[in-house]
Amino acid sequence: MKINNLTKEEVFKNLVTSESGLSGEEAKKRLSEFGHNEIKEAKKTPLSVRFLKQFTHFLAILLWIGAGLAVLSEYLHPGEGMLTLGLAIIGVIFINAIFTFIQEYRAEKSIEKLKLLLPFYVKVIRGGKQTEIPAREAVPGDVIILSEGDKVPADSRLIETAYLMVNNAPLTGESEPVPLQQEPYSGELIESKNIAFAGTTVVSGSGKAVVFATGMRTEFGRIAHLTSAVETGLSPLQKEIVKATRIIAFLATLIGVVFFSIGNIIGKSFWENFVFAIGVIVALVPEGMLPTVTLALSMGSQRMAKKKALMKTLTSVETLGSVTVICTDKTGTLTQNRMEVEETWTPDYNQNSADLLMNTAYLCNNAKFIEGQYKGDPTETALFKHARENIGDLKAERISEIPFDSERKRMTTINMVDGKRLGFTKGALENVLPLCAYALINNEKTLINGKLKEEITHAYHSLMDKGLRVLSFAYSELSTPDSEPEKDMIFLGLVGLEDPPRPEVPDAIKKCHEAGIKIIMITGDGSRTAVAIAKEIGLAKGNPVAIEGHDFMKMGDRELREKLSEKEIIFARMTPKHKMRVVSILKEEGERVAVTGDGVNDAPALKKADIGIAMGITGTDVAKETADMILLDDNFATIVNAVEEGRAIYENIRKFVIYFFTSNVAELVPYIIYVLFRVPLPLTIMQILAVDLGTDLLPGLALGAEKPTKDVMKQKPRTPKDRLLNAKVLSLAFLFLGPIEAAAGLFGFFYILKQAGWQWGEMLAANNLLYMQATTACLTGIVIAQVANVFACRSFRESVFSIGFFSNRLIFAGIAFEIALQIFIVYHPWGNAIFATSPIAAQMWLVLIPFAVFLFAAEETRKFIVSHKR
Amino acid sequence: MYKKILAAVNEHLNSEISARYALNLANACGAKLYICFIAEKGMSVSSLEKAEDAVKRLFIDAEKMGIAVEGITETGKPVEEINKIARHEGIDIAFASTRREDVERRFYTGTVARNLSLKLSCSVALVRVVHMGRIHPKDILIPLKARIASMQERAYFTAKMAGCFGSKVFVFHATTPITKFFHGEMHLTPAQWEKRLPEDISEFIEHMKRYKVEIEGRLSPGAAAKSITVEAASRRHDLIIMGASERSMLSSILRGNPVEEVLRETPCDLIILKPRHEV
């Protein structure tokens, strides 16, 4: 039993109130017990805590250890520049934290937009007198007064109504006004006609109601609660970064422990081992990766904005590329939301009947033709336009109207035509045909028998199977002003309207199918129309599973889960409130879900989905604030273009991860050589940072701007098992490209030493000129090899020449920056001072270039072999 | 199990609504109902009148339902007086409402509700009333921990509450996500979670089936309090029945207290049961 089932007297008894409302004292008491009638945001982790968390993840902890060791070394061995290094590492931690925070940050304004839908003041009866109070002070038991234009402040049970009509759009998404009444209703509370819900607006009429739920406990509050409390968790990319950092941490610890022990066994000093430990950490951690990921996502979001997809969080850019299911609305997204009359049908195929059908379409209509333009609801406008073009303008006084509502699914007007009082009705066949006793056949009223009914139903289904939205029309002759207009009506015929699909949609759907992305259409239309349209646009090829809203409500989770696993599925006659359940079940099954929405009540589903997509043109502010992405043109094809961009970004992130790891290997090997053999350290820790946070950054970022490869939308969506840092990536960096690059650096180092007559085992001081030149050559060798590596990393399988050597201009800008920075480090006194380098002869560069050529050629050969194997 | 049920009523509307739950439970168990009102010192006349009116209304309702009912009015400190009555009459379970000011206090320490829960020798059902439109709950959410204390009484209480309203029961367990070092959080489908259903929860479900209560169950990984309120809001549950917190003050400070969080954020009425019967 719910409040909608009760009589007025029972309502008063249950809420312990009366017609004269609550007393001021009782209202005050209830306010202290039930709280203010307001929308509040769910408790969330404060922004400051979220920022601080960026300093405690695995990668950060590893770097903190490195910084701590550096500071400790400064204490043990002052004057070796370890304090500068420690501070530099802390700087890296801050840079990474800021960039990661930018990635995750999002201003949450959906609750603020929801609050705007509630009124500031409300008229109540307190102690028998009407008064106006701030809406936030309304309490359960308050008797409120509703009149035209008022916003409803709280969920209230109506006790008096006078032609009360409300717009329930914020709750149901239906913009048609709904008539309300005070009689007890036996159905569900949410569907009840005697409840005025908070956030809805009184369109006409007036009424009195008793408040029974306030603030966050109203239906509106429920939407706010879900919108603010539902958490989607980490994005796929964030999860991948967490996994990658753990692998790096594991490798750093493993390598550190193994070589630290070897160093001890072969008699290295504690200090040498200490330097080694810091070196391993700094070398293995790709310090520039997180800033580059953030910048690459930012560039990606700008490219998407140019394609009319506005991204609201950076990580969503990549998440979009990983979606496996898109739940999409039909009207306006797959179709143009531009209704046109496609076909008419009358039982007798007679012109007179057709004209009368058009008269009804013209008169039972609220669309207008003003200043050369049709104005009104798309369906009504299409009917009005078609009728006007066929029969011209009509003059008939409208006496009254019973508006359309979603429950009656019909509209009726009473007009005076040539002195006769006539009733005209249009609506869904299942709601109009039962009102008709006759049909107009050859200008005569003919009694509707079983055969005729069957014929009409068959015609109705045939039109629906063509993907048309079908309306039926009837009229009645009213002998007296009291005659019931919707009784013993005369059936006239059917009109099929089409909302043409957007021309680019079939291709976009084909692309999705090739990309292994399932599309689920969720529409308010009937299942036959929905299936026909799905077939027309290529969404369904066989006989898709079509579930209508009323069946959906009855289905348990298990059954729905089974249905959702079907290849082709369509939800018809659905309202937005059902979307969240569909999204939740899909997510529970491990799918990555994108969902479209425009209404206030779409907000929880938009929040729950991995990617919530709001409509830019028709979307409400609440939907736009909740979504991760806004479609500026409301077009489904734009989603698919954005998915393609998202997939490309993930591929590109993987490309620059290989690029960074290759140099990390080249930075690590000198430390292993240093521990295993009696040689000076070939590369200092500051020089490692010069590569990771200096020369590598812009070329890495340029890799993030690579265009999508041809087959990016021909692959299945990646699975959660497919890691960013998988065995292929690691082996390519650690066993193939990295060793070549390490050889380049070490060759440079020993070449300089040998040229100057250095003997094996001879140790050199950190400020020895020869030593500084040798480490500079090692650094230069790595940087030169990285120039070739950036080309090598542009694709996984295709030759660079096949994807276009010059197709990514940013690569060349990145290389120019890389070389300029290296020249600064090698030849400028400031560069020398910061990175402990010393100028080397220009010929040295020429000595190192063959390594770069070799790396490039080796990678091209690998790609050639791999692509031919496939 | 419940032969004598006590409902504590005061001048506040939520106490009357809480008592209605007691009334229905008494009806389902064939128990005697004690409606008690403790007038505190310094209480205003109007408050006294309101409380007495509430007692009268409940009395009439009880009689209409054919429930044996007794009204008790005392003066003094509510906790002490209720405790005395409970001991004297041999009460099996006492119903009391939590007030908003209780909920706003951390760990609702020092509140009447908390003290009743701690000091009464009988079982205690603390009711938080937030929604007055769902008079007879149709869908009841039962959040359960992996280990259920006083299983039999909790099952009995739930079954009787569901029975008196003809409700469907949804068992929900917010479990700790499964993580692996290199993989992070693992995603399990509902079918996979079902295989990991804790034994106590399976046993609880079996109890419900024996009581012939329509039941559905599901596990979901996540923080307990948030998962419970989101579950209740998204599926429009009418009532939540959960066990009282067993966390110490220190543990609550360190790990949070789901019961306290649900009390604050609940989208529907909530009953917190502190069972004391050993069966």
Contact criterion met (CB < 8 Å) for B265 and A225: yes
pLDDT in tens, A832-861: 998 999 999 999 999 999 999 999 999 999
Is A557 catalytic? The answer is no
Of all residues in chain B, the one with the smallest CA distance to A210 is: B133
The number of C-alpha atoms within 13 Å of A735 and in the hemisphere containing its C-beta is 7
Q: Indicate the pLDDT class of residue A337, thresholds 50, 70 and 90.
A: confident
Q: Of chain A residues 558-597, which have a CB less than 8 A from chain B?
A: 561, 580-581, 584, 588-590
Question: Which residue out of B9, B10, B12, B13 would a mutagenesis test of the A interface target, given it has the greatest number of A Cβ atoms within 10 Å?
Answer: B13
Q: Which residues contact A848 (CB under 8 A, 6 or more apart)?
A: A744, A747, A748, A777, A780, A781, A784, A785
The yes-or-no answer to whether B1-129 and B130-271 have a common fold is yes
CA distance A763 to A783: 25
Among B11, B134, B181, whose Cβ lies nearest the Cβ of A2? Answer: B134
Hey, what's the torsion of the CAs at A622, A626, A632, A635, to 10 degrees?
Answer: -100
Average confidence (pLDDT) over A600-607: 89
Q: Which residues contact B275 (CB under 8 A, 6 or more apart)?
A: B123, B149, B150, B153, B154, B157, B243
Distances (CA, A) of A520 to A275, A501, A512, A704: 58, 16, 12, 31
- What pLDDT is attached to residue B31? 94
A16 contact residues in B (CB cutoff 8 A): 13, 16, 54, 57
* Residue count (chain A): 870
**pLDDT beyond 90 at A95:** no
Of all residues in chain A, the one with the smallest CA distance to B15 is: A33
**pLDDT beyond 70 at B278:** no
CATH class of the region B130-271: alpha beta
B267 contact residues in A (CB cutoff 8 A): 216-217, 221-222, 225
Top mean-pLDDT range of A3-12, A270-279, A567-576, A763-772: A3-12
Q: Which CATH number fits domain B1-129: 1.20.1090.10, 3.30.565.10, 3.40.1400.10, 3.40.50.620?
A: 3.40.50.620
Q: Please state the domain extents for chain B.
A: 1-129, 130-271
- Helix %, strand %, coil % of chain A (to 5): 55, 15, 30
Question: Which residue out of A7, A225, A586, A589 would a mutagenesis test of the B interface target, given it has the greatest number of B Cβ atoms within 10 Å?
Answer: A225
**pLDDT beyond 50 at A132:** yes
Q: Please state the domain extents for chain A.
A: 3-34+112-229, 52-103+233-307+643-869, 309-336+502-634, 340-498
Collapsing DSSP states into helix, strand and coil, what is residue B183?
Answer: coil
Q: Indicate the pLDDT class of residue A107, thresholds 50, 70 and 90.
A: low
User: Which architecture, in CATH terms, is A309-336+502-634?
Assistant: 3-Layer(aba) Sandwich (3.40)
- What pLDDT is attached to residue B108? 57
Query: Which residue, A566, A595, A600, is CA-closest to A581?
Result: A595
Average confidence (pLDDT) over B249-258: 72
The number of C-alpha atoms within 13 Å of A493 and in the hemisphere containing its C-beta is 25
CA distance A563 to A581: 13
**pLDDT beyond 80 at A576:** no
A13-17, A132-136, A575-579: segment of lowest average pLDDT? A575-579
Average confidence (pLDDT) over A634-656: 91
Query: Which residue, A220, A104, A91, is CA-closest to A151?
Result: A220
**pLDDT beyond 70 at A349:** yes
Of all residues in chain A, the one with the smallest CA distance to B139 is: A1
Query: Which residue, A187, A201, A195, A186, is CA-closest to A219?
Result: A195
- What pLDDT is attached to residue A483? 86
CB A489 within 8 A of CB A552: no
Query: Which residue, B265, B104, B269, is CA-closest to A43?
Result: B265
Q: Which residues contact A551 (CB under 8 A, 6 or more apart)?
A: none
Looking at per-residue pLDDT, the higher value among A481 and B256 belongs to A481
- What pLDDT is attached to residue A67? 86
Among A29, A157, A720, whose Cβ lies nearest the Cβ of B12? Answer: A29
Q: Of chain A residues 402-441, which have a CB less than 8 A from chain B?
A: none
Going by their DSSP bridges, the two strands A593-597 and A611-615 should be labelled as parallel
Question: Residues A329, A525, A598, A634: which is the catalytic one?
Answer: A329
CA distance A273 to A265: 11
pLDDT in tens, B69-123: 999 999 998 889 999 999 999 999 999 998 877 766 665 566 777 788 888 889 9
| CB atoms inside a 10 Å sphere around CB B261 | 17
pLDDT in tens, A451-483: 999 999 999 999 988 888 899 999 999 988 888
Asked if B151 is an interface residue toward chain A (Cβ–Cβ < 8 A), one would say no
Average confidence (pLDDT) over A31-45: 86
- What pLDDT is attached to residue A853? 96
DSSP code string of A828-846? SHHHHHHHT-----HHHHH
Q: Of chain B residues 199-238, which have a CB less than 8 A from chain A?
A: 216, 218, 220, 222, 226, 229-230, 233-234, 236
Collapsing DSSP states into helix, strand and coil, what is residue A133?
Answer: strand
Q: DSSP code of A719?
A: P
A203-217, A398-412, B31-45, B227-241: segment of lowest average pLDDT? A398-412
Average confidence (pLDDT) over A116-140: 93
CA distance A236 to A628: 14
Q: Indicate the pLDDT class of residue A554, thresholds 50, 70 and 90.
A: confident
**pLDDT beyond 50 at B279:** no
Looking at per-residue pLDDT, the higher value among A282 and A865 belongs to A865
Average confidence (pLDDT) over A772-797: 94
| CB atoms inside a 10 Å sphere around CB A753 | 22
What ipTM, to 2 d.p.?
0.91
Enumerate helices (H) and strands (E) in chain A, giving the number of each.
33, 25
Contact criterion met (CB < 8 Å) for A589 and B234: no
Contact criterion met (CB < 8 Å) for B234 and A581: yes
pLDDT in tens, B19-43: 999 999 999 999 999 999 999 888 8
Going by their DSSP bridges, the two strands B184-185 and B179-180 should be labelled as antiparallel
Query: Which residue, B95, B109, B88, B87, is CA-closest to B58?
Result: B95
Q: Which residues contact A793 (CB under 8 A, 6 or more apart)?
A: A655, A656, A658, A659, A662, A703
Structure tokens at A446: 């003919």
A25 contact residues in B (CB cutoff 8 A): 46
CA distance A432 to A357: 14
CA distance A395 to A387: 13
How buried is A107 (Cβ within 10 angstroms: 0-12 exposed, 13-18 middle, 19+ buried)? exposed
- What pLDDT is attached to residue B109? 63
- What pLDDT is attached to residue A804? 87
Looking at every residue in chain B, the average pLDDT score rounds to: 88
Structure tokens at B176: 């700790």
Per cent of chain A over pLDDT 90 is 49
What pTM was computed for the model? 0.83
CA distance B156 to chain A (A): 23
CB A669 within 8 A of CB A742: yes
| CB atoms inside a 10 Å sphere around CB A43 | 13
A33 contact residues in B (CB cutoff 8 A): 12-14, 99-100
Q: Which CATH number fits domain A340-498: 3.30.2130.10, 3.40.1110.10, 3.40.50.2020, 3.10.330.20?
A: 3.40.1110.10
Of all residues in chain B, the one with the smallest CA distance to A556 is: B216
**pLDDT beyond 70 at B241:** yes
Contact criterion met (CB < 8 Å) for B13 and A239: no
CB A749 within 8 A of CB A670: yes
**pLDDT beyond 70 at B203:** yes
Of all residues in chain A, the one with the smallest CA distance to B179 is: A243
**pLDDT beyond 90 at A274:** no
Q: Indicate the pLDDT class of residue B246, thresholds 50, 70 and 90.
A: low
| Fold of the A3-34+112-229 domain | 2.70.150
The number of C-alpha atoms within 13 Å of B153 and in the hemisphere containing its C-beta is 20
| CB atoms inside a 10 Å sphere around CB B89 | 16
- What pLDDT is attached to residue A556? 86
Among A14, A195, A216, whose Cβ lies nearest the Cβ of B267? Answer: A216
Q: Which CATH number fits domain A52-103+233-307+643-869: 1.10.10.410, 3.40.50.920, 3.40.640.10, 1.20.1110.10?
A: 1.20.1110.10
A122-131, A203-212, A299-308: segment of lowest average pLDDT? A299-308
Contact criterion met (CB < 8 Å) for A43 and B185: no
Of all residues in chain B, the one with the smallest CA distance to A242 is: B184
| CB atoms inside a 10 Å sphere around CB B74 | 15
What phi, psi does A107 have (nearest 5°)? -75, 120
Contact criterion met (CB < 8 Å) for A217 and B130: yes
Q: Which residues contact A75 (CB under 8 A, 6 or more apart)?
A: none
**pLDDT beyond 70 at B131:** yes
| CB atoms inside a 10 Å sphere around CB A693 | 17
**pLDDT beyond 90 at A433:** yes
Per cent of chain A over pLDDT 70 is 99
- What pLDDT is attached to residue B104? 67
- What pLDDT is attached to residue A416? 92
Handedness of CA A429, A435, A438, A442 (dihedral sign): negative
Contact criterion met (CB < 8 Å) for A33 and B13: yes
Average confidence (pLDDT) over A558-570: 92
Among A14, A43, A584, whose Cβ lies nearest the Cβ of B135? Answer: A14
Contact criterion met (CB < 8 Å) for B135 and A190: no
Going by their DSSP bridges, the two strands B269-274 and B123-128 should be labelled as antiparallel
